[in-house]
Structure 1
């Protein structure tokens, strides 16, 4: 049960005055929810300003900075109405330095003459733009008589907005929401409170919505740091509770015999790298214990995670159990099936693949084989964990690309009464701070070397006006039997943007290369995608035009050229993932990043980092610095924490403190029954971490 203290904050947003269906739809969009019914008062309380307008600085007209909000006191000189309704109405103000034109559109009636009488001294505030050396202000935010300055707020918070919602309406709703914020019991350890100079939650939230200057909006400002710490603490306590619950369900010790892995290792066309061997050793030690393994295997693109996972799965089969490998997409699941079937062939084990596309009799037969234990290894999408799937003896679950599965999916397994050892793999190199924030309940292994024989990928940046040269280079390469990818950011052309779409680029390239070009994008159905990928893999097609659907795990070892169009539109980690689709064989490979000038500072930094290094972990740290953690792993809905207050760049020290505090708290008060434990329960509900509280009850 949510504590009654929080009821006013978890009331529907429509409980606030003035929030009806029309404005409600705008609020839902602003707050990232499907409908207004999904929005709560707390969502507005947590929607904090990102900047301020400071009206205390009042320059002379000719000193007003370009593109900035200025507050100007001057005399109304004359009115110049538009000749028709479609023409702008201008009012000219003058002071000793010069003249300012106030511009208004669609003016009805004579309200401007009343608001701005000629020869009256007025104070106006708004954004000043300069045209041909003359300043202009379109629709000022505020206009008052010069003596009525107090009617204009000297400092005004600026919030992230959505089209159609006015700043005044939002501010009114936020003020109504803040009235509902109660005094909370204190859940932070007194020592931590004192050391960081934190004030109470209520005072911190009120301070965040009432900034006095730019320093109040700094991520390290006391109010912001306090809320960041709460967010980290809620996350770390819930991870600690989940871990405690999962640990309570004993693991079945898995003792590897080498009977299956021995022949497989002997037949591999390569030797495992040092870091692969170390990871396998860690995994086998974990699985041999009575506690369940929860391990994150991080490996850069092409570092050989699949081989490590196979060794773990073979150990489970050697111990008489079953193993599953869950992949985020159909393409990836079927590819893992093809790769692992080949690698595991010397062990002679039974492998099946189960996805949402497996239907009818084929599906029933596979489900029977899984239930009887005849199938020893199952590969698939999250169809593997649906209610209809019963395992005879599931000992190991391997989850690929964890950032596409939240903690919730890990828990669904446990809820079925299945407590296998868990190995989670990701090719997205995650910086240590983010590992702590998102996967604090896991041990971590890192694969840091590339398998022997892999050559470095040469990365070059090219302006978009040189596309014809790239097509000529591709023609020469395809004539020599090479294979290439061409990645575009959109599926079809849109009027809003000038990005080249995959369909448009495919049409252009097909006119040059004919049926040697294929197209793959997310809107195609599974069989269509599979057919194109199979043709590309077999060499019937030599050039694959695609959207980022190929980003994860598409394995065509003889593809050696990657062209990425509008590279400036992609994140650093994503560009690195895409580049990793080439350079998987023993031939030298090239990645060409096509960009449209002029590049932003950030865009230039991203592309130059890619040119300089192939180290995924270094790239991930840089990406975190440049873009912030909310975007690092693609979408905010990725099961990773999209923080509202915390920033890993600015608050990493607080995360470390919160992690230690959460561990200490759960060790001393595992059921949260103490006075502080009760306060922590309020914190978990406030930050919507209440699924962790259900674990306490399920105990």
Structure 2
């Protein structure tokens, strides 16, 4: 039960009272509601009907759309009780145009004769179906005398339920909650509200809970759209507050001379893409301002983020400062080092790496060089966060692959230097709606072009039954000097699953292709064994690397041109896309084989055909989002993404974008939220329980 937070506006007290203060809600109902995440009246207010039943009265069931719910006035005819206990009890009735039967199972004869006396007029409402050509209504929802007809609503809202909870109990609780709606000030921009023709908050809540037609349940209905916008707005104000906190913490203008960057560009074998040039310009402009940079660099697999990152680091070095680039794992940190080294050498810049593996004298020497400013660019893992790591003049921190890096960690990162600019890089293409929801506190640069010379990867679906054929083709390919990844879904044979394990596949491929030709990496190996197997493959000493998904992110072996993914249907779309991106990095034409076990589920088939049909990571991410929903795509638990009750991230990207610009404008005009609209926005944050935002205002 949420405790009354200190400072909550008094107007909201009734909505945050105990759920059992509502009519008809005792301890048992309260427990059932809790399984639906309903613990206070406010939660009921935001639990909208998910469908509805049209119960408008008709003259006859003739011409009705069957099977379907029909409400009709009838004259009750004869009753026919079953011979045994288990048969059907049937009552023949007649409407204005035809006769049909009402059917009951396990019925009590005396109760039914009282409820439906022969010869009486009754209003009945329930689902009518054709059974052997004859119409019947099984267990009507309503059977009332004609003078009580008004008890049947024309349109009945249907709420989400849990075992034991009835629509009646749910509706009664909702009606109770709606009597507590306070009169609140308006937090939406007046022009925006007028343009969209949105009702005020309380009217919107009432309208959303009393739909009159099916169309009223749609997301675009003014009442529902307004309530969705309120949720998105509260989220975007939270992000905008974090953003203005970041901007308020004074930055330093870091101006590059362009001298070192020009050397790197001259050393390149190709020209930068338009997207790379644009991102480099945006980042340099941010760094040159007096406010702290807080930018996300989003680029698909192979879109050339390394070049953009290095140019940003060189701006820091040209200005006389230092830059750091952090990766989540040691393998990735070493790989960034390899990727940056030739370019850093062309620029004549001192580059070093610091990981948890550095110990003793070597570590002390690196720390001293860093503190003296002799190391200009540092690559590392989270070891860079440790207290004894001090920079002479840190200007830029780049964080790689951090969709697990929430707003809080981003704020923390900036504390290493006086006013460090922050650039977060991700290789996971994120649909626009999600990047607005998750990175709404940041400015975003997108790399949406592939550098010249990246060849398309041919992707094929292959049944697991053709395994021997695949191994034969692989033998032929490695005979020609090609290298391949073979990805397995599990590490050890478990009884519950027939997914073949990496160990087992490794043994079989070694037997088929030759002892020294096959390497193995999986998550349970000691890091040094893993690194040894990776580097043997990188150097071309092994031709095939059998691996679990540890190779998913960032490993770079230009000569590897074949990717076999076994039981590909058991992987998610984003994972498949990342894995495929491991090949196609060199000059050879590349292939990705998605091996699947029949029969494929509908979802499995959609994922695999999407992979076959497109290489565009943003397109793949949109399909992933449509199939799994927002929380799963980025893992709600670690994403800091709220659980929206009304707003739909997939369908309401446009609203999210408007909420973002509106929230940013509100805080620009009224940074402390003291105007009447600002005060209303504070109430909105309390209403939506945006604790982080409330803390930021009280601190701010």
CA shift for structure 1 position 698:
4.0
SS of equivalent residue, structure 1 residue 351: strand
Structural mapping, 1:269-280, within 5 Å: 272-280=272-280
Aligned to 2:484: 483
Greater alpha carbon shift after TM alignment, 672-681 vs 635-644: 635-644
CA shift for structure 1 position 214:
1.7
Structural mapping, 1:21-420, within 5 Å: 30-31=36-37, 41-56=41-56, 77-79=80-82, 89=86, 91-93=88-90, 125=126, 142=141, 155-160=155-160, 171=171, 173-257=173-257, 261=261, 272-328=272-328, 332-341=332-341, 343-344=343-344, 347=348, 349-354=350-355, 376-380=376-380, 384-385=384-385, 391-414=391-414, 418-420=418-420
Cα contact 2:241–2:667 (8 A) shared by 1: yes
SS of equivalent residue, structure 1 residue 682: helix
Structure 2 CA distance for partners of 1:350 and 1:326, relative to 1, 3 Å = closer
Structure 2 CA distance for partners of 1:661 and 1:260, relative to 1, 3 Å = closer
SS of equivalent residue, structure 2 residue 204: helix
Cα contact 1:462–1:593 (8 A) shared by 2: yes
Structure 2 CA distance for partners of 1:115 and 1:179, relative to 1, 3 Å = same
Q: TM-score, normalised by structure 2?
A: 0.78
Cα contact 1:62–1:98 (8 A) shared by 2: no
Structure 2 CA distance for partners of 1:649 and 1:533, relative to 1, 3 Å = same
SS of equivalent residue, structure 1 residue 403: coil
Cα contact 2:428–2:574 (8 A) shared by 1: yes
Structure 2 CA distance for partners of 1:316 and 1:688, relative to 1, 3 Å = farther
Q: Distance in 2 between matches of 1:464 and 1:146?
A: 65
Q: Distance in 1 between matches of 2:140 and 2:101?
A: 19
Q: Distance in 1 between matches of 2:319 and 2:628?
A: 45
Structure 2 CA distance for partners of 1:691 and 1:484, relative to 1, 3 Å = same
The one of 545, 548, 568 aligned to 1:546? 548
Greater alpha carbon shift after TM alignment, 538-547 vs 579-588: 538-547
Cα contact 1:182–1:202 (8 A) shared by 2: yes
The one of 1, 9, 12 aligned to 1:6? 12
Deviation per residue, 1:70-91 (Å, 9 max, x gap): 8899976444768xxxxxx553
Deviation per residue, 1:408-460 (Å, 9 max, x gap): 32223356785311222222334455544544444433323323332111123
SS of equivalent residue, structure 1 residue 404: coil
Unpaired stretches in structure 1, ≥5 consecutive residues: 83-88, 105-110
CA shift for structure 1 position 248:
2.5
Q: Does 1:580 align with 2:581?
A: yes
Q: Distance in 2 between matches of 1:25 and 1:653?
A: 37
Q: Distance in 2 between matches of 1:473 and 1:135?
A: 62
Q: Distance in 2 between matches of 1:582 and 1:70?
A: 60
CA shift for structure 1 position 658:
3.3
Q: Distance in 2 between matches of 1:207 and 1:156?
A: 13
Structure 2 CA distance for partners of 1:127 and 1:645, relative to 1, 3 Å = farther
Q: Distance in 2 between matches of 1:661 and 1:551?
A: 38
CA shift for structure 1 position 174:
4.4
SS of equivalent residue, structure 1 residue 245: helix
SS of equivalent residue, structure 1 residue 325: strand
Structural mapping, 1:555-594, within 5 Å: 555-564=556-565, 572-594=573-595
* Structure possessing the higher radius of gyration over alpha carbons: 2
Deviation per residue, 1:254-300 (Å, 9 max, x gap): 23346655665565565544432343233223323323223322222
Count of equivalent residues: 671
Q: Distance in 2 between matches of 1:70 and 1:329?
A: 62
Q: Distance in 2 between matches of 1:377 and 1:185?
A: 52
Greater alpha carbon shift after TM alignment, 650-659 vs 310-319: 650-659
Structure 2 CA distance for partners of 1:517 and 1:169, relative to 1, 3 Å = farther
Q: Distance in 2 between matches of 1:236 and 1:316?
A: 31
Q: Distance in 1 between matches of 2:492 and 2:281?
A: 44
CA shift for structure 1 position 221:
0.6
Structure 2 CA distance for partners of 1:7 and 1:348, relative to 1, 3 Å = same
CA shift for structure 1 position 358:
7.8
Q: Distance in 2 between matches of 1:545 and 1:146?
A: 71
